[in-house]
Amino acid sequence: MRFSTTASTLALAVLVAAQDATIQVGKGGLLFTPSSINATVGSVITFDFSGAPGNHTVAQSSFASPCAPLASGFDSGYVFVPNGTTTGFPTWNLTITDTKPIWFYCAQQGPPAHCTSGMVGAINAAGSGNNTFENFQSAAKAAASVVAPSPALSGVGAAATTGPGPLTGSFVGAAVPTGTAPAPSISSGSSTTTSSASTSTTSKAASSASSVAANGLVVFAAVLFGVTLF
């Protein structure tokens, strides 16, 4: 009986410890698929840039400002996938470090702008009440503009150790975080980091011009390589 109880406890611990998932970026249109998932601390979320043609980002935002970067939030940079690509898509791995909701968007300004077209996603969003994914997406579609972020491996509640890859051959990246970072620190409790929409907007204002310039570089690259941006 004691052995049975111990075995059941271990099995439950394994189940809780790992909820790895893959999110398709831009596959089938301006969307993340699935757009909302749940993940435990320590889970690895793989963003698969499988939309072809595509030119997308994965940038952390907030529920209050869906299409603006969160202060100290993560950002993949622009990942550019040419038309006709069927295999070897670039991927980006984020490790979850907190169970609080994580909101993200595509910062590509198009046209059409991707975030205001509904290309947003969530991890551990509430299933009911005000802060649901559905309400987040509705707010994104109503946003006045899409604010370009700055590339960053680490975010609030999630972190990557490297940028998206592979970015070789026909795959192109711009404003992509470079280098490597140490493995993210996994906390068993809730994060003490808080960010408001006003703080986010203020802290990112200084870098917006350079980020928009990087976005323009991607558009130039797309024209150069003959790929339509979607």
Continuous H helices in the chain? 2-17, 133-141, 197-225
Greatest mean pLDDT among 122-126, 164-168, 206-210: 122-126
* Average of per-residue pLDDT values in the chain: 81
- Mean pLDDT is lowest, of 51-60, 156-165, 170-179, 214-223, for 214-223
Q: What is the pLDDT of residue 200?
A: 40
Residue 104 vs residue 177, higher pLDDT: 104
pTM, to two decimals: 0.75
Thinking of the domain 21-163, which architecture would CATH place it in? Answer: Sandwich (2.60)
Confidence band (pLDDT; 50, 70, 90) for 178? confident
Return all residues near 195 (Cβ < 8 A) that are at least 6 apart.
62, 70, 71, 72, 73, 156
Residue with tokens 């204002």: 205
Q: Where are the domains of the chain?
A: 21-163
At residue 137, φ and ψ (nearest 5 deg) are -65, -40
151-177 average pLDDT score: 93
CA dist., res. 173 & res. 164, Å (int): 8
Residue 11 has pLDDT above 90, yes or no: no
Q: How many residues does the structure list for the chain? A: 230
- Bridge partners of 95? 44, 159
Residue 125 has pLDDT above 80, yes or no: yes
14-48 tens-digit pLDDT: 445 569 999 999 999 999 999 999 999 999 999 99
Q: What is the pLDDT of residue 168?
A: 86
10 Å CB burial of residue 20 (0-12, 13-18, 19+) is middle
Q: What is the pLDDT of residue 16?
A: 54
Give the up-direction half-sphere exposure of residue 188: CA atoms within 13 A in the CB hemisphere: 0
Residue 122 has pLDDT above 90, yes or no: yes
